[in-house]
Amino acid sequence: MESKLEKIVALAKRRGFVYPGSDIYGGLAGTWDYGPLGVALKNNIKNLWWRMFVDSRDDMYGMDAAILMNPKAWEASGHVAGFADPLGEKMFNTMFRTNVGAGEEAQTTYLRPETAGGIFVNFKNVVDSFHPKLPFGIAQIGKAFRNEIAPRDFLFRTREFEQMEIEWFTRESEWEKWFDFWRERMREWVVEIGLEKSHVHETEVPEKDRAHYSRRTIDFDYDFPFGRGELYGLAYRGDFDLSAHAKASGAELSVLDETDERVVPHVVEPSFGVDRTVLAVLDSAYAEDEMGGEKRIFLRLNPAIAPVKAAVFPLVSNKEPIVAKAREIYSSLKPLVPSIQFDDIGNIGKRYRRQDEIGTPACITVDYQTLEDDTVTVRDRDSGKQERVAAKELDIHLTIG
């Protein structure tokens, strides 16, 4: 029997969410490529995160730093010496090494193993441009790379992945308050993206298992189909990074407090993996039931992140007035719901199945009655129930539905 993970991987490939990386060449371990629906789902997740944690706050600064950084930054942060996993007798540094420049001039550096580094080296730039008062945060979404010894479990452990990270700068005396504050926000996020609550567990990470920079860490673990694993992390990094970069670079990485004293802020870091989020979202949403005497697979995605929000079908594809009316309704909704799809391929049952499998919350069907009274049916993905709605009220129906 197929395991749940195998079913999710198969659906992801069949429907264009995620393909194995370099598929026609037999793949490349630890890499996955997002297809048309996967990139839409991933963008919806990232946009929701950015709205919730950056745009809706006055105390958060967004940024997008280069992936390639001066190697001195990774020496100062302790990653060159300490970012390693055990491999046989010796430790193996999991940073990807690369060369910048040619010939004698070539300089060895690393693909960043976490996005946080780009934030710390820009701390002074942001402070000089915006003069923020403590506490404030800098947030970034971007790729990170780790030469994992054993990449596995689909999107869970890959060698190239994306992170959504916040470095929250606070006075040392207030770090615990802000640690609790961000823990609460992370809980809200988990609900917002529709994860199955009973699958999420918070665990205090003991000192021996913490990253070299962390003085307290809570992992948000998730019950993935293959077992429990880290979904997100919340770490108190103290003043480790700013102090280390100040020492190594000679830059002044401090702020003036209200008494005009220079203080090096302490850091609370909520860190979210995008790809593990996609996997947890697919796992929580994946459902099977029986409808009309047939087995059905559907994704109960939260409409806020569903890659396709609605689909419009003509009941039959060979009756011109019905097709024309469906096209007209589709075009009128497209500006309002950009991810809407038009589908007239195959029979209506097949079209419903296809939309169910990609998690489309609403299917709108134009039928013979539409031509008489300008109403359409709207079918709910989860219950399969249909209701008749006036075509001119569809915009309201879709935006609040």
- Residues forming contacts to ligand ATP in the complex (CB under 6 A) are 114, 146, 148, 157-158, 161, 163, 230-233, 271, 273, 275-276
Shortest separation between residue 244's beta carbon and ligand ATP, angstroms: 17
Shortest separation between residue 16's beta carbon and ligand ATP, angstroms: 21
Based on CB atoms, which residue is closest to ligand ATP, 59 or 209?
209
DSSP state of 82: H
Based on CB atoms, which residue is closest to ligand ATP, 74 or 232?
232
In this structure, the strands spanning 107-110 and 97-100 are antiparallel
365 forms beta bridges with: 313, 377
Shortest separation between residue 67's beta carbon and ligand ATP, angstroms: 15
Rg of the chain in Å (alpha carbons):
25
Phi, psi (deg, nearest 5) at residue 184: -65, -45
Phi, psi (deg, nearest 5) at residue 388: -90, 135
Tell me the residue nearest to ligand ATP as measured from the CB. Answer: 273
Based on CB atoms, which residue is closest to ligand ATP, 273 or 361?
273
Paired tokens of 125: 């730039």
Paired tokens of 247: 């020492």
Shortest separation between residue 156's beta carbon and ligand ATP, angstroms: 6
DSSP state of 43: H
Based on CB atoms, which residue is closest to ligand ATP, 220 or 342?
220
Map residue 244 onto helix, strand or coil: helix
Q: Whose CA is closest to 162, among 45, 294, 306, 79?
A: 45
Shortest separation between residue 61's beta carbon and ligand ATP, angstroms: 20
Shortest separation between residue 149's beta carbon and ligand ATP, angstroms: 10
DSSP state of 39: H
Dihedral sign computed on CA atoms, order 242, 93, 202, 53? positive
Phi, psi (deg, nearest 5) at residue 65: -85, 160
Based on CB atoms, which residue is closest to ligand ATP, 208 or 295?
208
Based on CB atoms, which residue is closest to ligand ATP, 126 or 205?
205
Can you tell me the distance from the alpha carbon of 136 to that of 339, in angstroms, rounded to the nearest whole number?
35
Based on CB atoms, which residue is closest to ligand ATP, 151 or 314?
151
Contact 309, 156 (CB under 8 A): no
Shortest separation between residue 235's beta carbon and ligand ATP, angstroms: 7
